[in-house]
Amino acid sequence: MRTRPLKVALLGCGVVGSEVARIMTTHADDLTARIGAPVELAGVAVRRPSKVRAGIDPALVTTDATALVKRGDIDVVVEVIGGIEPARTLITTAFEHGASVVSANKALLAQDGAALHAAAEKHGRDLYYEAAVAGAIPLIRPLRESLAGDKINRVMGIVNGTTNFILDKMDSTGAGYQEALDEATALGYAEADPTADVEAFDAAAKAAILAGIAFHTRVRLDDVYREGMTEVTAADFASARGMGCTIKLLALCERAADGGSVTARVHPAMIPLTHPLASVRGAYNAVFVESDAAGQLMFYGPGAGGSPTASAVLGDLVAVCRNKLGGATGPGESAYTQLPVSPMGDVVTRYHISLDVADKPGVLAQVATVFAEHGVSIDTVRQSGKDGEASLVVVTHRASDASLAGTVEALRGLDTVRGVSSIMRVEGE
């Protein structure tokens, strides 16, 4: 066993970074045995050096992250500061000065993953990022290593714990969106500004990463269709229950049936209560993978938090250190298929549409005619109402997003249709 330690630079010492440092210290002997050499925390870059950080030698703390990653003796840089800059520049600088990188930065990887992989390859370094998607759940490595010999056709999952907590609370208690969000904030599941979560920016970044790995093609954040969940109502959950479904904010990455393109999208959807993802409660994450040979797989566990995310970071750190000792690098970017990303209009799925209509003879026939004229086949219809007003719920067979959009526009033009109260996709069947 090598006695000279591998030196680690830590960029960021917040909730995740402090847990990484703690585990490196408390599990030092185990990490040494697993890696084959000691690992030593050689520096910690922070914004506020005066803050007391338990268990970290103040002499290691610096505000000069650039100087830290430029040190020629650093073997691995762990980046947990998030955001685009300065993280991007610090990571590429680390590669240039001989260090491999472990990152949890989903936003940066979704936007500039190809460039970061190219920089790592140019300098013969590793870029690992298990913690960027689904926290402690082993997902990135199984997709790019364990399933490397298989053909993945679909990845569908709950990849944001905040939104899952809110939707689960709305489903189980009948709470409205704002009430459920307030509880999530009080319990620490939601940030003071929850926009990145509830408007699905966080989940969209993760979908881009998952799609790129699963389909061996480059998928950027801009390629992902994104729809938040702030418009989901208690009435939507009531409709879902009537269909034997619940509602989840899903990240869906699919290969086209002909294999010639892929899609990546994030939006609320109804899923049957019989689907494994329907039982994912609270702030937990789960990802459902469908492939040719392995069939259906589900990965489940805590998707955020200091300790779970640090667990994923440390797993990558062990792997990168082992590679360093062996004089090798792990798998880099695989984008050989170069498949185009289809627009949302081409996506085919089922839809649940709630209409407010006049309660009089002939309305249903008018509505059915509009669906037929746009080539959208109806699966079921449910109508209820009184005193001249009615609610009409239509569930379609599979249709493209573009054809459904044309249908809804035409429906709004009918004088018997007072409004379209909700439109939601139905997945998982």
List the catalytic residues.
206
User: Which two structure tokens, joined as six digits, stand for 70?
Assistant: 């430029």
- CA-CA distance, 362 to 368, in Å (whole number)? 10
Burial of 288 (0-12, 13-18, 19+ CB in 10 A): buried
CB atoms within 10 A of CB 34: 14
Return the closest-CA partner of residue 78 out of 258, 352, 312, 260.
312
- CA-CA distance, 425 to 419, in Å (whole number)? 18
How many Å separate Cα 422 from the centre of its chain?
A: 25
CB-based contacts of 172, cutoff 8 Å, min separation 6: none
- Provide φ and ψ at 361, rounded to 5°: -60, 145
Q: Are 294 and 150 in contact (CB under 8 A)?
A: yes
